[in-house]
């Protein structure tokens, strides 16, 4: 008989306690989340409600006036199936609030990725499935539709792609590149693939062109003034495993049941695990 796995809490675990058992004065956050029914709101250190309960989830905490919190509301949608049946799904729509509880972005985005190391830049996807990069004031660093897909920024760089994905398969016309936080292309869109590095604490990434691949140092790319041209002819043939990272989309059907990795969901499904349904 297999021994049952015992799960334990970690540093990211949050505990729900009644207000009568909680001293808000000891909480260092400028906004403190609370629940009412199945919705989340925020109070200040005095217990006054700053944001009424209206969100289904939140990401991040405000310890400083420069901190922002990503919040979500549910969007329900469905697709017709055989026999007249309709399959219904639920997906989060992301928005952003500041330390005062003021709305920066309405919860209207399918994706809203903060730049790692820069609190003023966000990669977003709207409800037309178009990607853009926005400043915190709403101005466009990269306009909607310029690229078919944009990753979050890490090490000052983000992966971008032109070309589409059909039924989970990358098309031959897809080309990848890297842009900096000003929207400048630092690696031209001529690569067949660039491995994910957003949020993975990697100093390097792998770029692939044809049958060869090369590891490149992200800080070296960003340190160049001109667009780089990498010669992959002397690199080893691309034979590394791809898609071995799991956990970012844990709990989704695409990962837990179908077995798709984080990288496959990011690249093949544009970061939307629910998009796996299109494969059939």
**Cα-based torsion angle of the residue sequence 174, 175, 178, 184 in order, rounded to the nearest 10 degrees:** -110
Q: Judging by DSSP bridges, how do beta strands 131-135 and 140-142 pair with one another? A: antiparallel
| Dist CA 25 CA 41 (whole Å) | 18
> What is the DSSP-derived secondary structure letter of residue 237?
B
**pLDDT of 54-95, one tens digit each?**
999 999 999 999 999 999 999 988 888 888 888 888 999 999
| Furthest CA-CA distance within the chain | 67
Q: Tell me the pTM.
A: 0.75
**pLDDT of 123-167, one tens digit each?**
999 999 999 999 999 999 999 999 999 999 999 999 999 987 554
Q: How far is CA 260 from CA 79, 193, 197, 198, 255, in A?
A: 22, 18, 17, 18, 5
Characterize 37-56 residue by residue with b for buried, 16 or more Cβ atoms within 10 angstroms of its Cβ, and e for exposed. Answer: eeebbbbbeeeeebbeeebe
| Beta strands across the sheet bearing 49-55 | 32-36, 39-43, 49-55
């Amino acid at each position: 008989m297999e021994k049952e796995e015992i799960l334990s809490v970690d540093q990211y675990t949050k505990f729900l306690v009644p207000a009568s058992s909680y001293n808000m004065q000891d909480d260092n956050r400028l906004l403190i989340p609370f629940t009412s029914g199945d919705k989340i709101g925020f109070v200040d250190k005095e217990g006054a409600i700053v944001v009424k309960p209206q969100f289904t989830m939140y990401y991040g905490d405000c310890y400083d006036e420069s901190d922002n919190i990503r919040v979500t509301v549910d969007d329900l949608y469905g697709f017709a199936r055989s026999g007249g049946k309709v399959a219904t799904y639920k997906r989060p729509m992301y928005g952003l609030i500041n330390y005062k509880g003021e709305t920066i972005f309405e919860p209207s985005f399918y994706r809203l990725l903060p730049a790692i190391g820069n609190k003023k830049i966000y990669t977003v996807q709207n409800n037309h499935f178009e990607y853009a990069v926005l400043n915190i004031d709403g101005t466009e660093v990269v306009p909607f539709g310029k690229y078919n897909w944009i990753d979050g920024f890490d090490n000052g760089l983000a992966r971008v792609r032109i070309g589409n994905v059909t039924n989970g398969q990358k098309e031959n016309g897809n080309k990848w590149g890297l842009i900096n936080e000003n929207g400048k292309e630092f690696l031209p869109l001529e690569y067949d693939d660039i491995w994910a590095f957003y949020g993975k604490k990697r100093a390097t990434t792998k770029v692939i062109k044809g049958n060869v691949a090369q590891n490149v140092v992200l800080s070296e790319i960003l340190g160049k003034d001109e667009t780089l041209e990498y010669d992959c002819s002397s690199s080893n043939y691309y034979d590394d495993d791809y898609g071995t990272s799991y956990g970012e989309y844990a709990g989704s059907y695409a990962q837990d049941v179908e077995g798709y990795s984080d990288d496959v969901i990011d690249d093949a499904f544009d970061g939307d695990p629910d998009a796996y349904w299109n494969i059939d």
